[in-house]
Amino acid sequence: MRRPRAGFTLIELLVVIAIIAVLIALLLPAVQSAREAARRIQCVNNLKQLGLAVANYEGSQGVLPPSVVVAKNGAGFWSNGWSINGRLLPYLEQNAAFNSVNFTLNYSAADNATVSQLVIAGYICPSERRPEPRPTATGRYGVASYNWNVGDWYVFGGLSASAQGRGAFGANRSRRFAEFTDGLSNTVWTSEVKTYQNMLTKCTLSTVLEPGSIPSPVADPYSAVPEYKSGACTLNDHGHGEWVDGAALETGFTTAWPPNKVILGGPTMVDVDIVGVGEKSGGPTYAAITSRSYHAGGVNSLFGDGSVRFIKSSIDGNTWRSLGSVAGGEVISSDSF
């Protein structure tokens, strides 16, 4: 008699496959969670390096870097456009890139094309889903997912304005540490944003017109700023797409709304930021540029003392505004964010 062959039956094979599938389903979330935890750690490290770079810049120059430089030029305005990121290059071990920059020319000039298209890992969160350079008609630009605090709604009053922005950085503004009377540990310098963010730009804001009269952080956005839906702005889908550009819509954020707040606007009703007249067009500039991230529940933020803290999306809007001001005199408890 022939001995029967040893092997799996079809049912046994299916059972084994099912068991493997269940194990994969159980393990995959744990693996993804571990990967995200590693990305968050690297994100925090990137922000700490930016904090050290700013501290070294201040130690060398005696002041903090301006977000952008704007000047009157005949009937118009002149700006070479360079951002804080460009000024920090030598303090981030990017000396070769810094030495190749011609700061007398715009970042979009042909002489600066090589630097402008660089992808600098320290400017991009590892969790960012669109880290690729942004192509334009004049070349490619590296993106940035860490932006600088340029105020609440009020960003820049224009060349003749006496009122200054309340954020840590600003156009034509190089602050000294002595100006941070709220304390460096109570002032946000840098926070996360998403690259290729939808933006409503060139808006004629009808209700946000005075530095001291801006919408409450708990106001209904559509009532407070009807331009979100009015069609009076230009929609673009590439905000935070140029790390070299010092304009608020590219390398700035404001504390107008709490982190990750979704406001649908524009003709296609997408999650948008909104900017009035830009700084490089002479201002005055008002903007709601929200800090966002792909981390669940909040954003990583760099404070003036060099610490990095995770700010929950559920933070009270007034507390977030207080953390954004340098001399508001607010009393902030450490357990409020």
List C-alpha distances in Å: 28 to 25, 32, 33, 40, 275: 6, 6, 8, 18, 41
User: Would you say residue 56 has pLDDT above 80?
Assistant: yes
Which residue in 51, 33, 84 sits closest to 188, CA to CA? 51
Considering only CA atoms, which of 307, 291, 281 is closest in space to residue 48?
A: 307
pTM of the predicted model, to two decimals? 0.89
Share of the chain above pLDDT 90, in %: 74
Q: What is the pLDDT of residue 217?
A: 96
Torsion of CA 54, 81, 279, 52, to 10 degrees: -10
Pairing of the two strands 146-149 and 188-192: antiparallel
Express each pLDDT in 98-119 by its tens digit. 999 999 999 989 999 999 999 9
pLDDT at 164: 84
Tens-place pLDDT, residues 164-221:
889 999 999 999 999 999 999 999 999 999 999 999 999 999 999 899 889 999 999 9
Residue 160 has pLDDT above 90, yes or no: no
Q: What is the pLDDT of residue 76?
A: 81
Alpha-carbon span 286 to 277, nearest angstrom: 7
Q: Which two tokens stand for residue 136?
A: 């334009």
CB 330 within 8 A of CB 187: no
| Structural tokens at position 245 | 């550009």
* Amino acid 3: pLDDT: 63
The C-alpha atoms of residue 258 and residue 246 are separated, in whole angstroms, by: 22
Cα separation, 131 vs 125, in Å, equals 8
Residue 5 confidence (pLDDT) above 90:
no
Could you report the per-residue pLDDT of 59-102, keeping only the tens digit for each? 999 999 999 999 988 778 888 899 999 999 999 999 999 999 99
> Is 183 within 8 Å of 323 (Cβ atoms)?
no
Residues whose CB falls within 8 Å of the CB of residue 304, separated by 6 or more in sequence, listed in order: 168, 180, 183, 184, 185, 187, 188, 189
Cα(131)–Cα(50) distance, integer angstroms? 18
Number of residues assigned to the chain: 337
Please report where in the chains the tokens 């304005």 appear, as a residue. Answer: 161
Distance CA 123, CA 132 (A): 12
Percent of the chain with pLDDT over 70: 96
